[in-house]
Every structure is written in C-alpha cells, then in structure tokens.
Chain A
C-alpha cells in the first residue's frame, strides 16, 4: 500500500497540510512546554520542516528510481542496478527539545522510502505530545502510521516488539539501551545523540560578529539544542575581549531584562532546571546567572574561567549557560577537544581560514561549522549525524530517504550466451582460469609510458 509513489506523495502532502493547519497549535504547545518563542518555533518546527518536505516532494521521483551501475565486459548485455526497497515498519522516537521537527523530518524520509511508521513523541513535552497524538491521525493513513505515547516503561515495552528500523534522537545512555534492544531483533538503527560541542575562538577575529553568532547559537531555545555551542575555548585575552561583546549581543537580542523578552525561552522541566542551576557554581558568573524557579527561567549566562574539573564541564550543558575555558593557544584547544568524546559538532571562529581548517582537520565530530553556529544543520544537502558517542547514521534531505531504504543490489542476466559462462564451470583448468582473469579483473591504469 505504501509502495506506489502517489501514495507516498499524498501522505507527504498531508503532512504539509498538518504543518499549515496546526501552525498556531504548534506554536502554542511548544510555548507551553518550554516557553519556545514563536519566532524560533516557526523557524525550527514549521519552516525547516516544510523545507525538508519540499526537497523530498521535488526529488522523490528521482530518488525512487533504480540506480544503474557500471558493469564489466562480460555483463554488457545484463542489467545491474540498485533498487531502493522500504524496510517495513519503522519506529521513530523523538525528544522534547524540538518536538515537532525531530519526529517529522525522520517521518518524511520514512514515508518517502515507502515504510509504515510508529511515532513515539517525548512525554516530557506534554502539550506537543498531546497535539501530535490527537491530530496526526486526521492527516495520515491510520493503517500505516500510528502515534504511541508514554514514558520509560511504555517505551521499554514498545522496544520488545520487532521493528525493521529504529530512529532515535536523545541522550547517549538511552541510545545504548535502544541499540541493545534492537540487537535482539537484528534491527538496524540511526542514533542521533549528543555531547559537548566545543567552540574555539582564535585571537584573530571580529569579536562583535563572533559574539553575536555564538550567543545566537547558545541561547536559541534557551540552550536546549543538541548542536548548540556547549563551551568556548579561547585565550585569556580573548575572554576579556569577548565578554563585553557577548553582553552587548545578549542585550541586543533580549533587551536589558531577558526575562521580559518574548524571544527567550524557558527550561522544559523542574528536573532540568535544577540540574542547570547546579552548574552555575562553575567558574565565575560573568554575565547573567539569575534564575526563577517558578518560571523555570535561567538568564542567558556566561561563566568565565571555568576549569575542566568543574561541574559545567562534566556533562552536556543543554541550557542557556556558556562556560568559557581558557587555553594558551590553538594546539592546546585541539588537544583539549581530542581528549574528549567526539561531539556532534565542532565550531571554530577565526579571520584566518588556515586556523579554521586546522581545527577542522585535526578534530573529529559529526559535523563542523566554521565562523558560525548551528547553520550546517539547515542545509538539506549536508548529512546530519554524529560519530562515536554522539551517534551513528545520518539524515536530512536525501540522506533521510537513504536511511530508511534498503539498497538492494540487483543483477538481471541474459539467459542466452551460455558459452560466456563456460570458463567458470568445473572441471577447473588453468586455461579457464586465464579466461576468467582477463574477463573479470579490473586492470589498474598504469602511469603513462612513452610509446
């Protein structure tokens, strides 16, 4: 049922209508859940999703086609191609920080690839969860697509079932549990996890622009972004220079009292709020630091002179707090980054492109952005995923379609020309072997020789 292109297109277009019709409800639900500013919600939950939808609808026909491949001499009359088969029933588990985007974008690829899907939104973003559970079924074919709600016990039970693919976005510890459960059924997985994304700022840079771009990336969604710059690495002189620039940027963005700004979010839960408040003791509070428990408000905060042993450096921050760790030079920064688990993103700021390239070449991470934050995730032509502790697999754009399809190698041979096959049959002889070798072996193009 899900195989014909028309069906997939119809479901995808229905998803588009969901985004259009329910735009207001989505903005309201995410605001209730984590005080998500409507500008941000529109950008990440609606705009970026529509982008992915359009890319997919525009290219689906192309992506679904059999890919014909190179053949050797003996197979010239045969047809060799890669067929994109759906896996079957896929499970998409989404987190609470971008609750619509992080189930919808994988779902787009799953539908495009011809699968059925079970969607498990996060119970922590309660209002969005309810919205999805109540309204999605009005748009999608309920035979093939279903929403399951619940917390840890329900998810554990859900994972006992056999799925043909599991797509999980969340924390590394839970990622391990998901993969272990998947192993029982030999289910392939994509895990979009997290880590501490380092942000190196060199001494040669435009401080104002750096401060703006870093502040934007850090405080978007009140810091609750998997690819947010987690901590800054710079020299003590740069820390001095950055501080007023960061203060200026924060005021420019949120006004003198961010608590009153409609453009600054809140922390999603009491548990997260308390966790973040405990991190404020690291280093010294240079900017912000105010909190309000009732509102789950934490001011845009910058911590200076943070030590590697401080609490803020022991876990992914995932909040509106930017620790600055002072290092002596770029080499020390690179060593610092490489001594730690590989993150989802690495950021480097410098007017000198050679420095940006050095950081890129000497580190390893899911993705990399030079002289900006977050933006590499908005290009649908770039793969989005982690490495090591920050995850496995990738998606966005065509990569989502490829993630949810099985690439099947197919060879359609001619029944005739049996004589060509003779060299491979027993009885085996050296002569036959010679023929086989010349027919199949790929000859290396040698260096040019003068005739």
Chain B
C-alpha cells in the first residue's frame, strides 16, 4: 500500500527539514492542539458517546480533562525538560563540557486503543510533539467515530506533513508496521504487543508497550469496608469495566465476602440508581464480540448480584461473582468488562502468593488500615503501578510513570516520562584541542607510572585521607611523564 509509504515518507522528509525541532514550533503545535480540544469539545464528546455511550461529564473528566492537563503541564515544563543537562565530571574531564542533550528520535508511531480512544491517542501525541518528532497516529478502528474525528481534526490544527493520521484495521496496521519508525508506542493487548515488538525488531525500533493483565485488588479485614468498596465500585464499573487498570478481581477473607458484596451493591444503587440500564452514567460494551466474550465468562459462576444482559444494546449489568475458583475461565483472561469475581484467601500471605503465581499485572490494589501490611504487599509483589486504599488514581498523578512490566508491558509515559520516552538522550563531551599534556597519560608506550596516575585521576574513591597520597603520587608520576616531553613543546602550550 503505497499510501502508507507516502505518508510515512512525507513525515520523514518533514522531520529531516528540521522544522519540528525549535521549541517555539513545538509550543505552537501544542497550543494548536489545546485550541482543538477546546473548540471541538462538543464533537469529541459526541464521538465518545457514539462509540462507548459515555455521558458528557463522564467523557469530559476521563478523556478531555486529562488531555488539557497534560497539554498545560507539557507547555509549562518543556523548556526545562528540553534543556541540556550538565553532568558530574571526573578529574580528567574537569576542563571539558560534559552534558546530556535531549534530541528527537525522528518519526514515531502511536497506536491507540478503543476504550479511551481520545486520551490514549492524544497523550502520547503530546509527548511526541514536545520531544520534537514527526508523528503518525493510528487510532483504533473499533472506536470508529473517534478515529474518524481524529483523522478529520488533526490536519485542521497541526502541521499536515509532520503529523499524520492513518485509519484502518488489522491489515492496514500490519502494513503500517512494515514501515520504519524511530519509536512505536502501542496500547492494547499482550498478544498484539508481541506482534508489534516483533515487527519493530526488524528495524531495531524501540517500543513502549502499554498492555494489560488481571489487576488484583486485595481487601484486608482491617479496613473501612464502606469506603473501600465505594472506591472499588467506582474504578471497576467506570466505562463498563473496560479500563486497563480497573481492579480485575478481588481477593479477601471469606468472613468479609458477603459484606463486600453488600457494600458494592449499595454503592451501585447510589451511583446508577435502581435501574442501571436507564442511567445515563453507565456505559456499554463496545461491540458484539466483546459482549459475547464477557458473557462466556459468566458460565457456571455463582452470581451474587447483577448478571442481566441485553445483546441488542450490548448491555451487561454491573455483576459480582462470589466464591470464584482460581481455575475458572473468568480468572484466566483479563475481564475488561463489568464483572467482578471475588476469590477468597485466608491471609495476606496467600494473597501475595496468589498474585505472584500469575503474570505481572498493570496495576495492583490493596486496601488496609495497616501501613505495615501495605508495605509488605508492595515489597513482595511486582506490577506496572499500584495504588493503596484506592484504585486507578496512581495513573492521574502526572509525576508518576505509567507503564507495565512483564506481560503488562514495557516502558512508561505521562508527563515528563512521555517526553523522555520520545527523546534520545545523547551523551556529549566537548574537549579542548590544547592541553595535550594530560592526554599523554593514556598514550602508548604504557608504563606503571602512567597507570598509577590514570588510576588516581579516574577512580572515584576520593576520601580525605587519600588527598596527600594523591598529591605526592601525582607529582612523582607527572615528573616521569613530563621528563619525556621536550622543553619546547611545554613552552608552546
């Protein structure tokens, strides 16, 4: 498909022209993006409603607010992020300039997902533009209204050659991945993540993979159950459970299981009213395929609450499952739906063991009044990120890196981490062409005096007692070295 080659080729040529590099240009583009979000708010919200039945305030706070915040933060911090960073020098390089320069990578590819279709394309785009790159954006075809809108809007506000949108499904994405990019950020499933990385390997392209997994949520007996369950209910059922960092399943002691169910039930009524289906704040499953998949997970399960479905409108009621067996289907794959299994464990040890037997998740949650217990859970498990005594919230702290580990992904972004993900940190050492005397230490022919002096100049162990040693050794060795240098060349320095 020549179109792909043309689009990527144009982006690369535009990048080579150098115009995406000056800070003023990047700020200008970011400002234009900000204008786009503010001016086209209605259209964006309409697309999100059409794709996922997200209500206005819901869509605004989950997608638009985050984007505006990221834009404001990036525009404010960009000059300091992009500034060269001077580094500590050793004695041998004392007179030199040593620093780390932040440079753009080139042409980056951002592949979005369908569950938060706007923010998952915009946030990486913001970081990529801030770092001075050209960007090709490939929104998810599953959220087709948002994809179409992004394809329409970006060229209206941004430099058309540097920033391009390509729409399409699996065949188009596969074709796109044969092109050479300088970084690929992919949000989606682990299975496709493997394909993306393998395609990137052909060009030695670095990747950031934001994948998924089953994010466990451990509820300790000693905690305020009402508050805990309210927070969990919020995080689990927002966007109808279709959130990569939603608490996937609960681990708790059998003695509190019923109380947990009761609390969640009460909270659900508080949030969505008596008739969930008619609540404007409850979303829908994105399509038939996922609807059927989630329905399949309910087979043979003890439904403590919910379970109502309506295929025509892709509606699945908020559902809680009790006494779930670890071997059941619902505990095998990421649920990504409004179904909350509870698996009982008799202690925090059992919970930690349970979690560690499985793939590392994107997020991990623990609720407890005991600080010691929380510290233990953090120390004895691994996950992309985690929140204690709440869910989701670690992802909205702009100063925290957001990413996975193991099967849940690699790399991180958000805020400064986006900028660094899309930049190359280039080591720069600028020396003087004069002062050759010091260099003579390293040139052949080798000698013990030279070696001892090099040791002293390079080796980091500077303790006070060694200073006298250092000075006398320095003088002795310098004498040996300088003796070989003729008087004339010394004078010529």
* Contact bitstring B93-124, A, C-beta under 8 A = 1, else 0: 10000101101011000000000000000000
A244 at interface, CB cutoff 8 A: no
Given that A188-B410, A409-B397, A444-B75 are contacting pairs, would A349 and B204 also be in contact in the complex, using a CB cutoff of 8 Å?
no
A383 at interface, CB cutoff 8 A: yes
A277 at interface, CB cutoff 8 A: no
B interface: dominant SS: mixed
B234 at interface, CB cutoff 8 A: yes
- The reply to whether B204 and A388 form a contact with Cβ atoms under 8 Å apart is yes
Provide the bound-state CA to CA distance between A160 and B447, in Å.
47
Provide the bound-state CA to CA distance between A293 and B298, in Å.
73
- The reply to whether B204 and A427 form a contact with Cβ atoms under 8 Å apart is no
A413 at interface, CB cutoff 8 A: yes
- The reply to whether B424 and A432 form a contact with Cβ atoms under 8 Å apart is no
List, in ascending order, chain A residues with CB within 8 A of B60's CB. 433
* Contact bitstring A391-423, B, C-beta under 8 A = 1, else 0: 111100000000000111111111110100100
B130 at interface, CB cutoff 8 A: no
Provide the bound-state CA to CA distance between A32 and B477, in Å.
30
Provide the bound-state CA to CA distance between A104 and B167, in Å.
47
List, in ascending order, chain A residues with CB within 8 A of B194's CB. 183-184, 186
Given that A367-B428, A411-B400 are contacting pairs, would A216 and B230 also be in contact in the complex, using a CB cutoff of 8 Å?
no
B480 at interface, CB cutoff 8 A: no
- The reply to whether B72 and A411 form a contact with Cβ atoms under 8 Å apart is no
Q: Give residues 112-166 of A contacting B (CB, 8 Å).
A: 164
B321, chain A: closest CB distance, angstroms: 22
A51 at interface, CB cutoff 8 A: yes
Provide the bound-state CA to CA distance between A375 and B97, in Å.
12
Of the residues A356, A388, A415, contact of B182 by C-beta under 8 Å: A388
B209 at interface, CB cutoff 8 A: yes
A175 at interface, CB cutoff 8 A: yes
- The reply to whether A421 and B57 form a contact with Cβ atoms under 8 Å apart is no
Please give me the residue from chain A that is nearest to B198 by CB atom.
A183
- The reply to whether A441 and B399 form a contact with Cβ atoms under 8 Å apart is no
Q: Which of A206-214, A283-291, A302-310 contacts B (4 or more CB under 8 A)?
A: A206-214
Q: Which of A5-13, A68-76, A93-101, A232-240 contacts B (4 or more CB under 8 A)?
A: A68-76
A318 at interface, CB cutoff 8 A: no
Of the residues A83, A180, A378, contact of B201 by C-beta under 8 Å: A180
B453, chain A: closest CB distance, angstroms: 11
- The reply to whether B458 and A426 form a contact with Cβ atoms under 8 Å apart is no
A58, chain B: closest CB distance, angstroms: 7
- The reply to whether B190 and A375 form a contact with Cβ atoms under 8 Å apart is no
Count residues of chain A with CB under 8 A from any CB of chain B: 116
Most buried by B among A368, A371, A382: A382
A interface: dominant SS: mixed
List, in ascending order, chain B residues with CB within 8 A of A365's CB. 426
Provide the bound-state CA to CA distance between A184 and B101, in Å.
33
B455 at interface, CB cutoff 8 A: yes
Most buried by A among B100, B190, B409, B442: B442
B180, chain A: closest CB distance, angstroms: 9
Provide the bound-state CA to CA distance between A384 and B98, in Å.
13
Q: Which of A34-42, A267-275, A324-332 contacts B (4 or more CB under 8 A)?
A: A34-42
Please give me the residue from chain B that is nearest to A254 by CB atom.
B444
A64 at interface, CB cutoff 8 A: no
A427, chain B: closest CB distance, angstroms: 6
List, in ascending order, chain A residues with CB within 8 A of B401's CB. 82, 407, 409
Provide the bound-state CA to CA distance between A191 and B205, in Å.
11
- The reply to whether B69 and A442 form a contact with Cβ atoms under 8 Å apart is yes
B250, chain A: closest CB distance, angstroms: 17
Q: Give residues 48-105 of A contacting B (CB, 8 Å).
A: 48, 50-51, 54-55, 58, 69-72, 75, 80, 82-83, 85, 87-88
Of the residues B384, B394, B439, B459, contact of A51 by C-beta under 8 Å: B459
- The reply to whether B434 and A206 form a contact with Cβ atoms under 8 Å apart is yes
- The reply to whether B105 and A424 form a contact with Cβ atoms under 8 Å apart is no
Provide the bound-state CA to CA distance between A51 and B388, in Å.
40
Please give me the residue from chain B that is nearest to A250 by CB atom.
B444
- The reply to whether B451 and A409 form a contact with Cβ atoms under 8 Å apart is no
Given that A180-B201, A430-B57 are contacting pairs, would A442 and B432 also be in contact in the complex, using a CB cutoff of 8 Å?
no
B179 at interface, CB cutoff 8 A: no
Provide the bound-state CA to CA distance between A184 and B190, in Å.
10
B325 at interface, CB cutoff 8 A: no
A193 at interface, CB cutoff 8 A: yes
Provide the bound-state CA to CA distance between A70 and B89, in Å.
29
A43 at interface, CB cutoff 8 A: yes
- The reply to whether B382 and A85 form a contact with Cβ atoms under 8 Å apart is yes
Q: Which of B136-144, B157-165, B221-229, B308-316 contacts A (4 or more CB under 8 A)?
A: B221-229
- The reply to whether B204 and A391 form a contact with Cβ atoms under 8 Å apart is yes
Provide the bound-state CA to CA distance between A48 and B394, in Å.
40
Provide the bound-state CA to CA distance between A120 and B319, in Å.
50
* Contact bitstring B444-474, A, C-beta under 8 A = 1, else 0: 1111001100110011110000000000000
Q: Which of B271-279, B332-340, B342-350 contacts A (4 or more CB under 8 A)?
A: B271-279
- The reply to whether A253 and B72 form a contact with Cβ atoms under 8 Å apart is no
Please give me the residue from chain A that is nearest to B384 by CB atom.
A408
Provide the bound-state CA to CA distance between A364 and B367, in Å.
48
B: which residues have CB within 8 A of A? Answer: 55-58, 60-61, 65, 68-69, 72-73, 75-76, 87-90, 92-93, 98, 100-101, 103, 105-106, 182, 190, 193-194, 197-198, 200-202, 204-206, 209, 211, 223-224, 227-228, 230-231, 234, 270-273, 279-282, 367, 369, 374, 378-379, 382-390, 393-402, 405-407, 409-412, 424-434, 436, 439, 442-447, 450-451, 454-455, 458-461
**A83-B378, A263-B445, A428-B56 given. 14 additional CB < 8 A pairs?**
A39-B446, A47-B459, A69-B400, A71-B397, A80-B394, A175-B204, A176-B204, A206-B433, A254-B445, A387-B426, A408-B384, A418-B230, A427-B279, A433-B60
A: which residues have CB within 8 A of B? Answer: 3, 37-40, 42-43, 47-48, 50-51, 54-55, 58, 69-72, 75, 80, 82-83, 85, 87-88, 164, 172, 175-176, 179-180, 182-184, 186, 188, 191, 193, 205-206, 208-210, 212-213, 216, 252-255, 261-264, 349-351, 353, 356, 360, 364-372, 375-384, 387-389, 391-394, 406-416, 418, 421, 424-430, 432-433, 436-437, 440-445
Q: Which 4 pairs across A and B sit closest by C-beta, in order of nearness?
A: A39-B446, A409-B400, A69-B399, A179-B201
